[in-house]
Amino acid sequence: MHDMTAATIDAPTHAQGSRPEPRGLDAARCRAAARQIRKYTLQMTLAAGPLGAHAGGALSMVEILSVLYLDVLRYDVKNPLSEQRDRFILSKGHGAPSFYAALCLAGFLDEKELATFKANETRLHGHPAMDPSRGIEFSSGSLGQGLSLGVGTALALKIRGNDVSRVFVLLGDGECDEGSVWEAAMSAAHFGLRNLVAIVDRNGMQYDGCTGPVMDTGDLATKWRSFGWVVRDVDGHDVSALHDALASSPAGPGTSAGAPLAIIAHTIRGKGVSFMENARVWHHSRLTQAMFDQAMAEQDASAETAPEPPEPGGSKRP
């Protein structure tokens, strides 16, 4: 097993159980977290050895995760099932490696455990297994199902009069091939689920190559809008733009009070590793030591001069 390198940091704190006041995004800190998530993802991929990992799709969603877990999501590691928490559902379950990395930074998972990724008898599988007390709300892996889970969760919150918690569902763009996504999308608008946010990791690729030639999903923003969602198109690697989109209230200006929000995040599959970016093979592949060394060096080279990346468990949000 490979050693995971811990990093040091100080973290902002929020009062227990309180809704954080809107504040400016600490963009540099989010970018640093993103870099750390990429490093963890690479380490897990190497640790998986010949089993390999879905590194490409895990890397395209890193900024989305860093903004969610450092900035937007409401959660409390000491009270993981708190009613007031936001619910995050990873519908594109194969993005598990970077998801686990984010959960580690958030404090749900121990850094040492990341080294057990894909090991036999591990709790960190290639697709997430439901473990709500550790931040994994549902199992996933069979694509196209997470948004329905999100609709049901959002409906239940609405029934209970919980107008504080939000439900965030992260989907892949290839995943939008699945008809069940559109069933869920239709129903979310029908039920006016303003507490539901779908984030589409629009990296333009799927297993067999670019989405266009495989199964062209066309203009996703128009599609989601036509299903009754408020849609924001953003650069999925720009933490400030992601913050603006994710933190935006569906009742804000230019939005419909009773509509769910879809964020089309334009990303690059394999982002941050030169030989993975847009490479078909990196839907799922294995790393050699040499490739790993090169990829890690690229992360260090991309580091800003300050600040340090967050330490695992240090970036908690109430």
Partner 1 sequence: MIAYTRANTRAWSMLGSSGAFGVAAMELPELDSNVAILTADLAFFSGLDRFKAKYPERLFNLGIAEQNMLGVAAGMAKEGLKVFATTYATFASARCCDQVRVNMGHMHADIKLVGLAAGLSVGILGATHISIEDVAIMRAIPNITIVCPADCTATVKATVAAARHKGPVYLRLSGVQNNPTVYQGDFEFTIGKAIRLREGGDIAIIATGTMVHAALEAATLLAERRIACAVIDMHTIKPLDEAAVKETLGAKLLVTIEEHSVKGGLGGAVSECLAGLRQKPPQLVLGMADSFNRPADYPYLLEKNGLTPRQLAESIRASYEEVK
Residue numbers at the binding site for partner 1 (CB under 8 A): 130, 132, 137-139, 142, 144-157, 159-160, 179-180, 183-184, 186-187, 190-191
Please tell me the distance from the alpha carbon of residue 13 to that of residue 314, in angstroms, as a whole number. Answer: 9
Rounded (10°) CA dihedral 138, 246, 95, 294: -150
Taking the complex as a whole, how short is the minimal distance between the CB of residue 224 and partner 1, in angstroms? 16
Cα 196 to Cα 80, 122, 249, 250, distances in angstroms: 20, 32, 11, 9
Identify whether the C-beta of residue 123 lies closer than 8 Å to the C-beta of residue 129. yes
Q: Which is nearer to partner 1, 76 or 277 (CB)?
A: 76
Which of 147, 262 has the CB closer to partner 1?
147
Q: What's the maximum distance between 2 C-alpha atoms anywhere in the chain?
A: 54
User: For 20, what's the count of Cα atoms within 13 Å in the CB-facing half-sphere?
Assistant: 20
Report DSSP letters for 208-253, one per residue: TEEHHHHH----HHHHHHHTT-EEEEEETT-HHHHHHHHS--TTST
Find, among 139, 132, 60, 142, the residue nearest to 103 by Cα: 132
CA distances (Å), 29 to each of 4, 24, 41, 308, 311, in order? 20, 12, 18, 8, 11
CB 37 within 8 A of CB 109: no
Distances (CA, A) of 253 to 235, 257, 309: 21, 9, 34
C-alpha 162/C-alpha 196 separation (Å) is 13
CA–CA dist 40, 312 (Å, integer): 11
User: Which of 37, 96, 45 lies closest to 67 in space, CA to CA?
Assistant: 37
